[in-house]
Structure 1
Amino acid sequence: MKTLFFNTKPYDKQYFSTFNEEHHHELHFTDVPLHKDTAVLAKSFDCVCIFVNDTADAKVIEILAQQGVKLLALRCAGYNNVDIPAAKKQGITVVRVPAYSPYSVAEHTLALILGLNRKTHRAYNRVKEGNFALSGLMGFDLHGRSAGIIGLGKIGLVTGQILKGFGCRVLGYDIAKNPECDALGIEFTSLDQIYEQCDIISLHCPLTPQTYHLINADSIAKMKKGVMLINTSRGGLIDTKAVIQALKKEQIGYLGLDVYEEEADLFFEDLSGKVIQDDLFMRLLSFPNVLITGHQAFFTENALQKIAQVTLQNITDYETHKPLLNVVN
């Protein structure tokens, strides 16, 4: 199937080309992102493959349909950047990778927690400069602390399981209770109980109209003073302005982000030689108790292999008229 990959990096081409040897699709790669001005590049392609920061709103979907695109393959789990009703109206099928490696994101979540707590990033820079003083580097034992997991899908459950291994009391919330919670020792509870009781809160839910700015001034006010807040899910779950105010008031004591609500203009690119124009992002970077990574939680060999395998299988299943296990309805 003739497929155009938008927004690709060298590692995308490497993994997809390798695993395509058994599928024999005609793959073409471009590093430009998908939006209304680039959608015309899909002319004569049957399938378009996109990532988290590509735009597939109603206008883009309309242009893709005009170019003859029949399949939109997401090489990620989230699909908040795709107008699903518009795709259905235009006759474009949407497929995704619902799970690649929950361990990759869960383990990165713990890396942020441990880095913030024990301030390893600051200690590393000190030691390089010959400064071995310990002042300002004090952390706390995770053992015995309460951790809240908001979103109990595969990633949330694995994160909870790891935190249980550290000796944490783990509370969890989702719109429906996952039956695996009890077996893992995760206490299913309400959002308010998580806000009020947890020393650490980690977000693992999708971005939907209902979860947009889930973390806002009101929810932050319910949290324990000095709470550690971690987001490795979707940037739009957090109201950045509200979080900045909470950091200034020390209501939030630690903030770890792998995603940011305006990340599309920043992440996955080398901007080290440019002046970053996003004032809110730069304000976040000014806090000593904030640790930000550039949407790399998914970035492991295991995850990239799985993403390539599932995406290509989705395309093959569509081409051969097999049941689509990962279709987005």
Structure 2
Amino acid sequence: MDYKSAAREIAKGGARPLYVCYGPERYLLQEFIQFLTDKLIDPAVREFAISRYDLAETSLDTVLEDAGTLPFMAEKKLVIAKNAVFLTGAKDTSKVEHNPEKLLDYLKTPSDFSVLVLLVDAEKLDERKKLVKAVKDSSVAFPALSAEDLIAWVGRQAERAGFSFAAGAADQFVLYAGSNLQTLSAEIEKLSLYVGQGGRVTGDVVDALVTRTTEQNVFILIEDIVRLRLQRAFTILQELIKMKEEPVKLTLLIARQFRIILQVKELSRQGYSQQQLASQLGLHPYAVKIAAEQGTKYKDEQLVRILEELAELDYKLKSGKIDKVLGLELFLLRLAA
């Protein structure tokens, strides 16, 4: 079950006795927990009606015992337990022993006054396990948003904050801020304070206000090179140098991006979807989308040659055979040519 379907069901008053929440998008998962809390628990009694456990420190028996105990001063109670490793294929390294069979027994006659939420810090559950099959209908996935969904999410968050993005500014915003929803949410709040209610965020505002990491700056630098925006690319390089970023580190980051571009091209030809590419390469789907677009500007042999040049540049920088800043600038000029 996806989280949107689960939220619609809860909104209609149909909360289930169990939710197993898993997936890489932790921000959406926490939003779901908050939504569940708001719908089920009166704010006046939340101190008594919400229990939180860490299954790395507390046994599943204790959690289930709590779920089976009548709530105090509330109609419903919410029992939240994180680190449910026994639902994955990973080895449980905690010192606490769990008896997962007890959960199967609980689900036969679950408490009608409790909602149990098990949090799993993993991309997927181990579907070979009997227990995972038993909780399948109660499992809620929180996968990384696709590139399109990410832009749509940014637009909705901006609307909630009372402003809008000009054409192309939302894409630029994600390119600058990255794909982490927690970071994006904080940057959206900053933009909201700047433009005010009913304001409009343009590309210039994004450029002036959004905080960029070194990795994002390199990402943007390569995008500017690909789009032949050479002046912007060299401006970013000079900013990175002024920030005391080591040219050797920048070279490695540039090489990483071109390696990703080549991998995306190769796997795309094999029929991998955007989501499959993201999972295979350990990237966010938005990064895959940008890499795929960048890859259309290069042939495979060009990418291989670029990576060879970067390996040679790395050797020269480390051995002192060329000035570090000059070497990087000359590489970017050759790349642009």
TM-score by length of 1: 0.27
More helix by share: 2
- Which of structures 1 and 2 has the bigger CA Rg? 2
More strand by share: 1
TM-score by length of 2: 0.27
